[in-house]
Structure 1
């Protein structure tokens, strides 16, 4: 039968030699990371007098909550020196924060479970619930340990010694941009550096994450980069978010970063920076799907399907504009749902609303919110004094502005655990607690 021990019970327990004499006391447990397999115990660190020495796993006859027994009385008393890639459970994991991937939050490892499988010991579970001796300081009933599978976590965040080994197995890139942004806002400088290093491998994801960050966190993390590196991120962000990011940067850094942007993105950003950031003009997306009224429903649907560069939230409607000689004057709007339900051969001017709700670029965001509420809209076109369409403001941008800051920072509501695609090493779902 497989045996289980917990690190908190093992630490400082006597190490007994093969002759029955006490050699020293356990100071740490060494494991080797093995990708998606459970980490393998490769040795122990024992304190012998004032010296820490290495005990290879082959020399350990038994691990027990009361004592650690060696197979031989002989111990190599050379001072322990950590090797590349080795992870020390007490020094590197116990008491440190890990990322709960399912719930996308940073939690602390309060204990570690080791399980004997055949003739080897492996790390299988973490306890992330604050122990009773700590909780009692704040009152309340003592919680039971909450053992969860090691594969439920992204461990060792900020641990530089193992970063290279862990990088190819990192699952952070599978989290939503908003979840990654929340992690970054809660992370320390070292932790945030590693999270950003992980998402940097996917430039589009990196840009999405920066769009989701709160302005102060966004400015802090961008400010640590060079002008060229900031421009690379802003080039992939939505133009309205990029404009907000530039406005939050120190004055002396703005122009060099703008100069480093691609011409098309620079033009959009400069246009948006000309408006009040909290107005419809400052929040609008500049790219819209606009067609003339003599286009057919089928043509409009094909254009919508091919509009891969448009912000999805802004692609809920097709806007009717004048012919070439009339410029982009707004003449009507038709939603994608209405297009799907219409005759494919019908002209757009036959199915469109010819008097759409609209806003000026100086309209306050609160007034835009009222328009959306009154008319049940997901988007509102923004037009100039001559009714030429400038862009579109989306409901998500409005909500970000009108929801009070203290509401956005409140404790999130409980939500169901998301299941990840691959099973753990044993084939069990990641969120099933250990039976210990």
Structure 2
């Protein structure tokens, strides 16, 4: 196996000319990230050069001038050195200045990590030196501390994180132009991405938000606490922020809008598509501790006379299907008054596809009113073993539904809710709308 060179053990080592005489001291290692492609030319960034200190100044030695790398010294191919002061170039990062002690994302581990050391080496079949891995262990940090005290590096088996499995941020190197792709992060589950965002620095978070598409940002914000999501939305340009809200389910959008200041909330709502804005405004009317404050107004609602086959056809033809589709609520023909509920499963597997919905549905409907206290509504839902419960006004008009995960938000302790909430498809945050009006 090719040798690995640990960055912290290289810094301070002598740079020698071909005759073995010391001509400089290594200060940092420079690798190249292609600014045009937004990522390294290859999976592992290649050595671009060395930053060394000699004759009272920092100078750059190109990689082509390095003959050999050894643990205790680096030997040059030529004794000639350009003593021009080092000037940073776009597409290059300094491992000590721009990577060491910085935050990266471990893609495979779905977590934010701190770089405590780095490893360089050769990939099979190549002679070129590359950045291969990072060390995130506490041992790496203690190794650096002990060396600063004793001048000796403690030995130990290195447990390294492959550079191909981490995500670097251009904001870690603000002095140069880097166009870093975050495509891999965008493919993570929104719940994982939300946790990562919570641990990133302000600059890294802004960088990531700029590169993700609106739908991915919307899905991710829905997984966050509404106040944290509102903070992120505040920092996004208003036109785009309104587009992101349009991508969200109405109840989740209302959660976030409720945590914005009134002027910002009104502005974003005015920029949204009218119908989607109205859906959010309807939900903002209700207080946090009521059934209306828990519900979503995105649900399946079809007239009672429709046959099973036609009901399914209309559901498939919807431009946007509701997120919760377990239940199909049945309306009195020509009105919005709900008269029953059918399991979508019962509709799909109905033996006679010409059977109308009013012959498939359950007529004994358990429901709550928008002013019902949230805990009472949640308790009723769980007592009947329902996956959702409808919210009706005094005349039986369907206003929305409360889903099972919303009930858990009310009934479970905070610590337990955080552990189990992510396993439910319909996870949403409760909203505090008492300070935001239509």
TM class, shorter-length? 0.7 to 0.9
Equivalent residue pairs, number? 403
What SS does the aligned partner of 2:297 have?
coil
What SS does the aligned partner of 2:336 have?
coil
- 8 Å Cα contact 2:169/2:204 also seen in 1: no
The alignment status of 1:297 with 2:308, answered yes or no, reads: yes
CA offsets per residue over residues 53-101 of structure 1, 9 Å max, x none?
A: 1111111111122111111122111111111110111111111110011
Take 1:192 and 1:404, find their aligned partners in 2: how far apart are those partners?
Answer: 29
Counterpart position of 2:159: 146
- 8 Å Cα contact 2:58/2:85 also seen in 1: yes
Counterpart position of 2:413: 404
The alignment status of 1:321 with 2:335, answered yes or no, reads: no
Take 2:320 and 2:128, find their aligned partners in 1: how far apart are those partners?
Answer: 53
Take 2:79 and 2:310, find their aligned partners in 1: how far apart are those partners?
Answer: 84
CA offsets per residue over residues 349-404 of structure 1, 9 Å max, x none?
A: 22211112212112222223222322222211111111111111222333334443
Counterpart position of 1:384: 393
Alpha carbons of 1:180 and 1:292: their partners in 2 closer, same or farther (altered >3 Å)? same
Counterpart position of 1:336: 344
- 8 Å Cα contact 2:117/2:140 also seen in 1: no
CA offsets per residue over residues 17-63 of structure 1, 9 Å max, x none?
A: 11211111111111112245211112111111431111111111111
- Larger CA deviation: 219-228 vs 401-410: 401-410
Alpha carbons of 1:108 and 1:369: their partners in 2 closer, same or farther (altered >3 Å)? same
Counterpart position of 1:306: 317
Counterpart position of 1:430: none
Structure 2 unaligned runs (5+)?
Answer: 34-39, 146-154, 423-438
- 8 Å Cα contact 1:365/1:402 also seen in 2: no
CA offsets per residue over residues 171-193 of structure 1, 9 Å max, x none?
A: 11101222222222211111111
- Report the TM-score, using the length of structure 1 for normalisation: 0.85
Structure 1 unaligned runs (5+)?
Answer: 414-436
Take 1:411 and 1:279, find their aligned partners in 2: how far apart are those partners?
Answer: 23
Alpha carbons of 1:133 and 1:210: their partners in 2 closer, same or farther (altered >3 Å)? closer
Following superposition of structure 1 onto structure 2, how do residues 8-27 of structure 1 map, counting pairs within 5 Å?
8-27=8-27
CA offsets per residue over residues 129-154 of structure 1, 9 Å max, x none?
A: 222654999xxxx9963212211111
CA offsets per residue over residues 96-148 of structure 1, 9 Å max, x none?
A: 110011222110111212112432111121212222654999xxxx9963212
Take 2:374 and 2:170, find their aligned partners in 1: how far apart are those partners?
Answer: 39
Counterpart position of 2:205: 192
The alignment status of 1:65 with 2:98, answered yes or no, reads: no
Counterpart position of 2:169: 156
- 8 Å Cα contact 1:13/1:66 also seen in 2: yes
Give the C-alpha shift of residue 161 in structure 1: 5.6
Take 1:367 and 1:256, find their aligned partners in 2: how far apart are those partners?
Answer: 35
Take 2:222 and 2:189, find their aligned partners in 1: how far apart are those partners?
Answer: 12
Give the C-alpha shift of residue 295 in structure 1: 1.6
Counterpart position of 1:180: 193
The alignment status of 1:115 with 2:121, answered yes or no, reads: yes
Counterpart position of 2:428: none
Counterpart position of 1:131: 139
- 8 Å Cα contact 2:300/2:322 also seen in 1: no
Take 1:171 and 1:163, find their aligned partners in 2: how far apart are those partners?
Answer: 21
Indicate the RMSD between aligned Cα atoms, in angstroms: 2.6
- Report the TM-score, using the length of structure 2 for normalisation: 0.85
Take 2:420 and 2:208, find their aligned partners in 1: how far apart are those partners?
Answer: 22
Following superposition of structure 1 onto structure 2, how do residues 368-383 of structure 1 map, counting pairs within 5 Å?
368-383=377-392
Following superposition of structure 1 onto structure 2, how do residues 43-122 of structure 1 map, counting pairs within 5 Å?
43-117=49-123, 118-122=126-130
Give the C-alpha shift of residue 222 in structure 1: 2.2
Give the C-alpha shift of residue 333 in structure 1: 0.9
